[in-house]
Chains A and B, each alone.
Chain A
Amino acid sequence: MAGIRIVNLTKTYQIKGQKIFALSGIDLEVENNSFVTVVGRSGCGKTTLLRVLCGLEEKSQGEIYFTNGKGEKVITRPKISMVFQEPRLMPWLTVAENIAFSISKEGPQERRRKVEKYLDLLGLNKFKNAYPHQISGGMAQRVALGRTLCYDPEIILMDEPLGALDAFTRLNLQNEIVKLFTNNEKTVIFVTHDVDEAILLGQNVLILERGNVKHQIPIQLPYPRRRDSEKFFKYRQEILRAIMGDKDN
């Protein structure tokens, strides 16, 4: 149960004495248990936003607050985790051990129960004793997703988790993510460069440009969404126009 309120968030880098704004004063409200997708051209600050949110990088200015179900500020930082573009599995652990990686403090029975739950959920049962180099990229990304789910964070940040996969594996995993999160109590921020994916998954699509939120487009379609519906096309056009600017249309 956690939402995020971002006020004037700024992140700057110094490159050869020049100040580069990766994020320039983002104001954003992410509601509790919502699924937000973020699109934008490369270099617009998508990844930086996630890295600052989960604490991998320090913010330069501004505030990040966390809110509870009623939209009130909470002081304690909720559990936040991230799925990276690459699976980043530990090569010396098997699939099952990788999934259990984040919960090593819990008791062995509890661990086994959770690992088995996510192995089932993600269809990884046959592979549980395989090492990461023995499984395909799509499977590895599933393991990474399972590892994050096993940690049971309140907020999940995903940085183009399907970006490096082939088209068919992608379609499969997109459907699985819809199933996993539409009736799950998690707040998700999902970065992608694929507009279709953003519409398919997100309740809200944010369009970032030059380190700021340019548009916020709520998608009012029921899950599971169909890519071939007329409304889907309209949303896609709207988003593409917002990203590319009007000059191209």
Chain B
Amino acid sequence: MLEFVRHVPPIACIPMLILWLGIGEASKIAVIILAAFFPIFLNTLNGVVNCDPKLLEVGDIFGFSVLEKFFKIILPSAMPYVTVGMRLGLGYSWRALIGAELIAASSGIGYMIMDAEQLSRPDIIIVGIIAIGLLGYVIDLLFFSLTAKLYNWNKEESKSWQELEL
């Protein structure tokens, strides 16, 4: 079932979503959820499944309960996967959102491009494309710098500790 849903592009669902939810914010939010769900879900699943059993044994040794093991070992070790999933999901949902606006919307950059197509104004279309790319880039950059601060343990920093202290 999940595999079936995964292979359906969110754009393909837009006509049905409009039928059910109307041309408004609700259908766009639904498209974003559809687009973002799989990269986040699959990456999170991967992170949880790939949790090092050796670290889980450390939890056993200290008498942790199942919940404690989840919150103190599994969840933090899966966080880098979760953020990668969120980053991918952000990109996908941005694309799906513009797609939704192209097909059915009354405002937004996608709507502006469709409007310009009907008015034969390629200049507006090009501005729209540039705006989409730039905004996507800026959003990704913001998200990345936010998460990089949270998970700085995961990156190879300078090994200056050893050099300075030993």
Residues in A whose Cβ lies below 8 Å from that of B162: 134-136
- Which of B55, B73, B151, B157 is within 8 Å of A134, CB to CB? B157
Q: How many residues of B contact A (CB 8 A)?
A: 24
B15 contacts A by Cβ under 8 Å: no
User: Nearest B residue to A130 by beta-carbon distance?
Assistant: B161
Given contacts A104-B72, A136-B166, contact A92 B151 (CB under 8 A): yes
Count, A-B residue pairs, CB within 8 A: 56
Please determine whether B165 and A101 come into contact, CB atoms closer than 8 angstroms: no
A84 contacts B by Cβ under 8 Å: yes
- Which of B153, B159, B161 is within 8 Å of A92, CB to CB? B153
Consensus secondary structure, chain A interface? loop
Other than the given A84-B57, A91-B77, A104-B68, 6 more pairs (CB < 8 A) read A81-B61, A86-B54, A88-B54, A90-B58, A92-B151, A126-B165
- Which of A55, A92, A126, A127 is within 8 Å of B60, CB to CB? A55
Please determine whether A134 and B159 come into contact, CB atoms closer than 8 angstroms: yes
Residues in B whose Cβ lies below 8 Å from that of A86: 54
Q: For chain A, which range describes its interface: under 10, 10 to 19, 20 to 34, or 35 or more residues?
A: 20 to 34
- Which of A81, A91, A93 is within 8 Å of B62, CB to CB? A81
Please determine whether A90 and B76 come into contact, CB atoms closer than 8 angstroms: yes
Q: What is the bound-complex CA distance between A54 and B62, given in angstroms? A: 10
Residues in B whose Cβ lies below 8 Å from that of A133: 153, 156
B118 contacts A by Cβ under 8 Å: no
Please determine whether B54 and A82 come into contact, CB atoms closer than 8 angstroms: no
Residues in A whose Cβ lies below 8 Å from that of B62: 81, 101-102, 151
A positions within 8 Å CB-CB of B: 54-56, 79, 81-82, 84, 86, 88, 90-93, 101-102, 104, 126-127, 130-131, 133-136, 151
B79 contacts A by Cβ under 8 Å: yes
- Which of A79, A81, A84, A135 is within 8 Å of B161, CB to CB? A135
Q: Closest CB of chain B to A130's CB: distance in Å?
A: 5
Q: Could you name 17 residue pairs across A and B whose Cβ atoms are closer than 8 Å?
A: A55-B60, A56-B60, A81-B62, A82-B61, A84-B57, A88-B54, A90-B55, A91-B77, A92-B77, A92-B79, A92-B153, A92-B154, A101-B72, A131-B157, A133-B153, A135-B161, A135-B162
Please determine whether A84 and B54 come into contact, CB atoms closer than 8 angstroms: yes
Please determine whether B154 and A56 come into contact, CB atoms closer than 8 angstroms: no
Residues in B whose Cβ lies below 8 Å from that of A79: 63
User: Nearest B residue to A131 by beta-carbon distance?
Assistant: B153
Please determine whether B72 and A91 come into contact, CB atoms closer than 8 angstroms: no
Contact with A along B138-166 (1 / 0, CB 8 A): 00000000000001011011010110011
